[in-house]
């Protein structure tokens, strides 16, 4: 009987001990969970932090801010390493004859950036980088230097195309994207050679779209990309890239009274660069649709009592304008005043030039003109600037 009682007591003690251990373990796990949640709250990223999750072996999505930082850094480093071989350094010089000795000297003029357009050695940069230069040299990412040949320029778009005769294995063409789907806030990278240094990278976002800057031809370039990625002197002509490492613009200018980057940079959209470069490679120039007229200069327009519109000064022989019956100025009458092209209002000569950019030679447009204070509709088949 004593043996049975002892066995029952021993069994009850074992059950109580087991339950106590289990309860303590649950409390301990709960304590760890509380500590973990507190630590997580202390380490939690700010509201605007981009949090990249990853799967653990258990299938639960996890990731620390440090891991995220490393992942973002690796992505940027990879993009830079892939894109930088396509970016070149441009040095220009001019030839000048000494007044007394009559000897000709080569004088350094300036520096800039550019990028490899294709495997045939074509280099794209800004027109203002090579403007008035007698000679241009291209330095590739492997530090080899090649003399460049000028293929063509588009002053009104601040674009120039050069060519070097480098082996194809040294040429890595840049990846091209599109600029018709860009959004404000999108991540961008600018690569160039500011101040004559080796490849440098600056990052930022698209600050605004649809900006306008003045070209070297004094014709506005519209639909410009604005970015806060630093574009310092020497970055001009270099590429603006998206997060896929694709070209979306050509870095062209900064807004800064001091000349240094102030967080407002501008880039020419790649969609504009595409048609400009393709025309230059095909024709040696940009071929524009034209109506075949010369216009009265803006500073003389008010003298004729005209506030809005583009006044036709003269008509070129056998041009689209002459075939459509448009009239220029005579000794006794004012020429036709173009006030709209299709549905686009024309306030001045620049408006007419920019409106025509949307068309191709051979397209049919309808002009609305004022003739003797009466509106007329005139259909015109556009010609080519060649």
CB 191 within 8 A of CB 239: yes
> Is 199 one of the annotated active-site residues of the chain?
no
Q: What b/e readout covers 246-260, taking b as 16+ CB neighbours within 10 angstroms?
A: bbbbbbbbbeeeeee
Q: Which secondary-structure segment (H or E) carries 14?
A: helix 2-43
> Is 158 one of the annotated active-site residues of the chain?
yes
Which residues on adjacent β-strands are paired with residue 344? 341
- Active-site option among 86, 113, 122, 158: 158
The single residue listed with the structure tokens 């949640």 is: 37
DSSP string across 113-158: EEEE-STT-EEEE-HHHHTT-SEEEEE-TTS-EEE-EEEEEEGGGT
Half-sphere exposure of 9 (CA within 13 A, CB side): 6
The single residue listed with the structure tokens 């900064």 is: 254
CB 75 within 8 A of CB 157: no
CB 225 within 8 A of CB 266: yes
- Active-site option among 86, 128, 207, 228: 128
CB 212 within 8 A of CB 218: no
N- to C-terminal Cα distance for the chain? 122
What 8-state DSSP symbol labels residue 26?
A: H
Within 10 A of 340 (CB to CB), how many other CB atoms are there? 19
Could you tell me the sign of the dihedral formed by the alpha carbons of 301, 305, 311, 314, in that order?
A: negative
Catalytic (active-site) positions: 128, 158, 236
């Amino acid at each position: 009987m004593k043996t049975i009682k002892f066995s029952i007591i021993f069994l009850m003690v074992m059950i109580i001990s087991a339950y106590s251990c289990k309860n303590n373990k649950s409390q301990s796990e709960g304590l760890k969970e509380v500590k973990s949640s507190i630590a997580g709250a202390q380490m939690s990223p700010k509201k605007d932090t981009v949090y990249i999750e990853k799967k653990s072996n258990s299938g639960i999505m996890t990731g620390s801010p440090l891991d995220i930082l490393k992942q973002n850094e690796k992505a940027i480093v990879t993009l830079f390493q892939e894109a930088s071989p396509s970016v070149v350094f441009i040095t220009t010089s001019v030839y000048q004859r000494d007044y007394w000795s009559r000897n000709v000297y080569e004088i350094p003029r300036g520096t800039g950036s550019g990028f490899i357009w294709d495997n045939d050695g074509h280099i794209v940069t800004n027109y203002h980088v090579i403007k008035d230069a007698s000679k241009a040299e291209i330095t590739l990412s492997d530090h080899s230097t090649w003399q460049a040949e000028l293929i063509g320029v588009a002053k009104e778009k601040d674009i120039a195309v050069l060519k070097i005769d480098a082996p194809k294995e040294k040429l890595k063409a840049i990846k091209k994207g599109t600029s018709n789907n860009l959004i404000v806030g999108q991540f961008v990278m600018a690569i160039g050679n500011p101040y004559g240094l080796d490849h440098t990278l600056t990052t930022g976002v698209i600050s605004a779209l649809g900006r306008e800057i003045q070209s070297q031809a004094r014709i506005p370039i519209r639909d410009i990309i604005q970015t806060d990625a630093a574009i310092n002197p020497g970055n001009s002509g270099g590429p603006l890239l998206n997060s896929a490492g694709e070209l979306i613009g050509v870095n062209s200018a900064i807004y800064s009274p001091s000349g240094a980057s102030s967080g407002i940079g501008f880039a020419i959209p790649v969609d504009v660069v595409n048609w400009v470069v393709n025309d230059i490679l095909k024709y040696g120039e940009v071929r524009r649709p034209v109506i075949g007229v010369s216009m009265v200069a803006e500073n003389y327009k008010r003298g004729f009592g005209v506030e809005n519109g583009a006044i036709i000064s003269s008509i070129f022989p056998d041009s689209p304008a002459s075939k459509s019956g448009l009239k220029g100025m005579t000794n006794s009458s004012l020429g036709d005043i173009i006030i709209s092209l299709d549905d686009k209002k024309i306030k001045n000569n620049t408006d007419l030039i920019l409106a025509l950019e949307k068309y191709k030679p051979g397209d049919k447009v309808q002009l609305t003109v004022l003739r003797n204070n009466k509106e007329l509709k005139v259909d015109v088949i556009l010609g080519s600037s060649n």
